[in-house]
Amino acid sequence: MADVPGRRILGILVAVFFLLSAAHSAGTRSNDGIRGFLPSRVEAERALEQKLRSIPDAARAESNLRRLTSEPHMAGTEASHRVAEWLLEQYRSFGFDAEIVSYSVWLAEPSEVKLELVAPEKKTLASPEQAFPQDKDTYDKHVAAAFNAYSPSADVTAPVVYVNYGMQDDYRELESLGVSVEGKIALARYGHGYRGIKTKIAEEHKAAGLIIYSDPGDDGYAAGDTFPNGPWRPMSGIQRGSVLYTQIYPGDPLTPGVGATPEAKRIAPADAASLSHIPTMPINAQDAAVILGNTGGAHVPRAWQGGLPLTYHVGPGAAKAHMKLAMNYQQRTIYDVIAKLRGEDDNAWVILGNHHDAWVFGAVDPNSGTATMLETARALGELARSGWKPRRTIVMCEWDGEEPGLIGSTEWVEQNRAELQAKAVAYINIDVGVAGPNFEASATPSLKELVRDATRDVADPSGTGSVFETWREHSSRPAQESGAARTRAKAEAPGDVPLGALGSGSDFCPFLDFAGIASMEVGFSGDYGVYHSLYDDFYWMKHFGDPAFTYHAALARIVGTLALRLDEADFLAFDYTAYALEISRAAGETVTRAEQEGLASTSVKEISSAAAQLAASAGRASQALQGISGAPVNVAKEEEINRELARVEQSLLAPEGLLGRPWYKHTIYAPGSYGGYEAEIFPGVHEALDWNDAGALRREADSLAAALRRAAARLDEIARLASAYK
């Protein structure tokens, strides 16, 4: 295989997959079966799921959301603690064994946020968001000044340069125009990448500071009616958010790789690679218009023209700004809620998670997910009260500190990594639970078909069929990116609905990228222009997002179905042949790229050989598992096989991590160093190709090939165990 040209390698790998496709995944669903379940257990599972799906209630979800959005509850505040205490009470009332797990983390709150235009005229900016009589919450006096978490304090006065979205290609365009941001304040608009990437790139180009604003051409009046008359961002709306360099490592910046317990060893802030060294602040479109109206300099390239009613210029020109930030950094406490519904096998955990902290009220992000989690937990609790006992333990987690940088989930995973790798079956994440009527999901490839199956069995609130059917219909249309949009992958096969790859941006990241636990994220999207603003509140949800709360109830049914199928399965329904196909495609494309760039070493070509080995092993394991269907039940052997099935994902971790960012250990998927939330496949290899670094490429290719062979060996062990099942 190593000497075959890249395009031919791809063809061979795909052919290997299709030759093995008859031996699909463990427990492939038949017309009347359920993936992962022996035929004798399907009827009982269907009855259990029907009972669960009858319980979630839209009115209860609405009541949950009203309570959760009753006050601003930013991470590190006592209000966030109050939310955690209320969630603890709810889970205990549902019959869960629940506790609060706290961490001490490095967080700031703003004590002064100041921005003014000082030339060619003087004008005070950093204006607050407008209050509207229709929505009493917009008058709340407890709303903190809008800021970017993990910006340093600073007092800077400098000319302004407009940098479009502030991504790498934009700076290349500036260089072609002869414009530098060194010593200047960069002005970027939100979109096309994580804000922390914008800060990192501005810092690398020696900018004195960065201002980020929401352009109405992206999520304001150009998209539709603005709040309070529509779902899109008004001119005064501000997108808060973190600029922590989570692409290097997420979580508490002073305790990388270990849980931020009070006794944890901490590094100095000056040594924290995830912290920015230049100030960053968010502003609204009306303030940005004042700056852009005075910027001067060359007219921008056409693609850089936003939606404000003025001609955009690059600068530097007459516009000079003064930004002053005073950030009060200290150790602050965050509060995770961990609730367990104990199963017959407490050594196997199905984990669900959502974060409860919000930038302000957080009706969509995250508390539509929190309200849904509560209805899911109530449904599972009612099943338990009726006599059902989970086969495996169900763990429901409400994270704190997600918004500053995935902190609560990361610290918990770092603290409990060994136990999680021994016990975790999979992780289900909900973040933006409901922002409209369009179902979307991302998952590791082994879980994608499980998500599709669950949506086939849940009715869509529109009344047009199942969630799967409406999902397939809307996914065939061009997607419109909202403020919280995640990158979505193309459909894997004709007729399939698309599930994206998991990159970063939410709490699945430490589970997948650090601990190697198969993960998924699910939710309903829509026209959502008030992301991370004051206006993401109960009024917005009641008028625009999900007025009847029927999509909250539908999501609880989907999440509950997914939890039951992972919890009750005879053989965990991981589809490793599908995973192998995605890897095989990527392997062929990677070798082709390396050949085109003159870097196709033996190490690179070995990726294809290892991918073919993985595909063959996945096929053998699938065939062996399907052969069990008529055998007598042997619980001990089932548990042994399931432990191995759950650990295949861990085989894909590189113990040493990716080059330059060792916290990220997954060799198949990780967020790109300059891509923000977007997942990159074979991240180490592709970044080495981007750098044109033959030595780094050899290291990362060897690491990837070794991971694929480890996964193949584990699948071969599964095939052996399944073949010996009696």
Do 526 and 485 touch, CB atoms closer than 8 A?
A: no
Q: What is the DSSP letter of 136?
A: G
C-alpha–C-alpha distance, residues 707 and 414, integer Å: 21
* Rounded (10°) angle between helices 576-596 and 694-723: 160
Element holding 157 (H helix, E strand): strand 154-162
User: Among the options 62, 203, 375, 402, which is catalytic?
Assistant: 402
164: left (phi over 0), alpha (psi -120 to 50) or beta: left
Give the residue ranges of DSSP H helices in 525-631: 538-540, 550-568, 576-596, 602-626
Q: What is 482-539 written as a DSSP string?
A: -TTPPP-PPPSSTTPPP-BPP-SSSTHHIIIIIT---EEEEEEE-----TTSTT-SHH
Longest dimension (CA), the chain: 84
Tokens read off for 648: 């295949």
Residues in the chain: 726
Do 285 and 279 touch, CB atoms closer than 8 A?
A: no
Do 372 and 424 touch, CB atoms closer than 8 A?
A: no
C-alpha–C-alpha distance, residues 244 and 196, integer Å: 6
C-alpha–C-alpha distance, residues 511 and 406, integer Å: 11
Tokens read off for 184: 């200047």
Told to judge if 402 belongs to the known catalytic residues of this protein, a careful annotator would answer yes
Peptide bond before residue 228 is cis, with ω within 30 degrees of 0 = yes
Buried b (16+ CB within 10 A) or exposed e, 432-457: bbbbbbbbbbbbbbbbbbbbbbbbeb
Tokens read off for 122: 């003087």
Q: What is the DSSP letter of 127?
A: P
Tokens read off for 256: 């990388």
Q: What distance lies between CA 664 and its chain's CA centroid?
A: 15
Tokens read off for 479: 């997607």
C-alpha–C-alpha distance, residues 134 and 129, integer Å: 15
R_g of the chain, CA atoms, integer Å: 25
Do 239 and 218 touch, CB atoms closer than 8 A?
A: no
Residues with Cβ within 8 Å of residue 661, at least 6 apart in sequence:
247, 248, 249, 673
Angle at 325 between CA 322 and CA 327, to 5 degrees: 175
Per the listing, tokens 């492939």 go with: 28
Tokens read off for 167: 């991504």
Q: CB atoms < 10 A from the CB of 217, how many?
A: 16
Per the listing, tokens 């005075």 go with: 294
Tokens read off for 128: 């607050």
Catalytic residues: 402
